[in-house]
Amino acid sequence: MRFSLFSLARQALGGHARWPAQWRSPEPKAAYDAVIVGGGGHGLGTAYYLAKEHGLRNIAVVEKGWLGGGNTGRNTTIIRSNYLWEESEAIYELSVKLWETLSDELNYNVMYSPRGVMMLAHTIHDIQVFKRHVHANRLAGIDNEWLTPEAAKDFCPPLNISPKLRYPVLGAALQRRGGTARHDAVAWGYARAASALGVDIIENAEVTAIRRDASGAVEGVETTRGVIKAKKVGVVAAGHTSVLMGMAGVRMPLESYPLQALVSEPVKPVLPCVVMSNTVHAYVSQSDKGELVIGAGTDVYTSYSQTGGLHVSAHTLDAICDLFPTFRRMRMMRNWGGIVDVTPDRSPIIGLTPVPGLYVNCGWGTGGFKATPGSAFVFAATMAHGEPHPIAAPFSLERFTTGRLIDEAAAAAVAH
């Protein structure tokens, strides 16, 4: 069913009792042309673009839990494209451009809100790094501007720019087209649109093995809901990528860390934009429900526990209380962790693997949500054609052998 004012009015008259399911829940078939492992935003988006852009309709997404229950549902929903290197600018800017029209594209409101992303500078080093980013972005046609502390406070009134702070605000880089979106809606919107195009979405099916034929090529996956044959398998499994790739005998340059987030009690609109600071490690925005959404850092050690140390959350709250004294008496309501797969150069890995027919899209680390549409778009093209999409090509697994790393450690807003 297409969402429209008419459908909304008709369902309202029916007491909203007759909305159909948003996507089908079929039994898995014995074989598909392609199988995507991982039902988060990136995986569901990949299936959607495979069906829509490349005409592959006989495909399935297998998810071990429920859709969007991993990092798609656990992140702080920030969108921006102010990265340093041209390779990164290309993929993150493609994403922002797709975000701008995604609600229309999917006929599903993903609540993209370009309210501005402001990154604070507290030291001379910060100023130099951020200005370098501003200039690099400007050359690439990506909006990013430098603000004085006063201009930063004009844009974000609750910000404390007192010079008496231990790390005073010396300026900020602002990307006005950056912002937030609704995380669940992204997964659900892609799932609904993909399902309508014939993609089978199979939840509660954990992959337990990847099957390979005598030549070494992929021939399918074994899941807790049976064996599914496919000549093409795309692994889009975030923190569990090493585990899945291990099933095919491939070692990955990944380490999985817990990354925490927390939300406050809901309050009236108080924070008009996204504010982040690498140096003191604050990372905060306000959801449409009124909660402050706060991103903490990663724990120092690898883990699959989906929880993290309390001192990691407390550290970011210290910084937020300094930058926003008005938040000091707010209570935090919930905190949680997600498992993020971090690469040595903090850039993703998108492309082919040494195993024929096996593709991987991983390594988004602490910042994958913003890239969801662009990542899915280029990964779908890569899987469809069996060769990397031009924007995905620099993010190959081979770069760790050739040495052509894409070092974005400074662009990551999260300490890790």
Catalog residues that contact other proteins under the rule CB under 8 A: 240, 242-247, 249-256, 300-305, 309-311, 344, 400-403
Task: Please check whether residue 322 is in contact with residue 368, taking contact to mean a CB–CB distance below 8 angstroms.
Answer: no
Q: Residue 395 in contact with residue 350, Cβ under 8 Å?
A: yes
Q: Which CB atom, from 200 or from 255, has the smaller least distance to other proteins?
A: 255
Which residue, 141 or 403, is less far from other proteins as judged by CB?
Answer: 403
**Contact criterion met (CB below 8 Å) for 102 and 65:** no
CB of 253 or CB of 374, closer to other proteins:
253
Q: Least separation, in Å, of the C-beta of 344 and other proteins?
A: 5
* Complex with other proteins: residue 107 or 306, whichever CB lies closer: 306
Phi, psi of 85 (to 5 degrees): -90, 155
CB of 32 to other proteins, least distance (A): 24
> 316-334 burial by CB neighbour count: b if 16+ within 10 A, else e?
bbebbbbbbeebeebeeee
Helix (H, G, I), strand (E, B) or coil at 319: helix
| Interacting residues of 260 by C-beta distance below 8 A, sequence separation 6+ | 295, 296, 297, 298, 299, 307, 308, 312, 313, 335, 336, 337
d(Cα 405, Cα 34) in Å, to the nearest integer?
A: 30
**Least distance in angstroms from the C-beta of 222 to other proteins:** 15
Q: What are phi and psi of 371, to 5 degrees?
A: -90, 0
Q: Are 75 and 68 in contact (CB under 8 A)?
A: no
Contact 327, 389 (CB under 8 A): no
Our CB check for other proteins shows the closer of 116 and 337 to be 337
Lookup: tokens for 406: 């894409």
Query: Residue 253 Cβ, how far from other proteins at the closest point, in Å?
Result: 4
Identify the burial level of 54 via C-beta atoms within 10 angstroms of its C-beta, where 0-12 means exposed, 13-18 middle and 19 or more buried: middle
CB of 262 to other proteins, least distance (A): 17
> DSSP assignment, residue 113?
B
For residue 399, the minimal CB distance to other proteins (Å) is 9
CB of 300 or CB of 333, closer to other proteins: 300
Q: How far is the CB of 302 from other proteins (least distance, A)?
A: 6
CB distance 39 to 203 below 8 Å: yes
Nearer to other proteins, 18 or 404 (CB): 404
CB closer to other proteins out of 8 and 310: 310
Q: In the bound complex, what is the minimum distance in angstroms from residue 332's beta carbon to other proteins?
A: 18
Identity of the residue, 226 or 246, whose beta carbon is nearer to other proteins in the bound complex:
246
User: Please, what is the minimum distance in Å from the beta carbon of residue 56 to other proteins?
Assistant: 28
Bridge pairing between strands 117-121 and 274-277: parallel
**Joined tokens for residue 153:** 């406070």
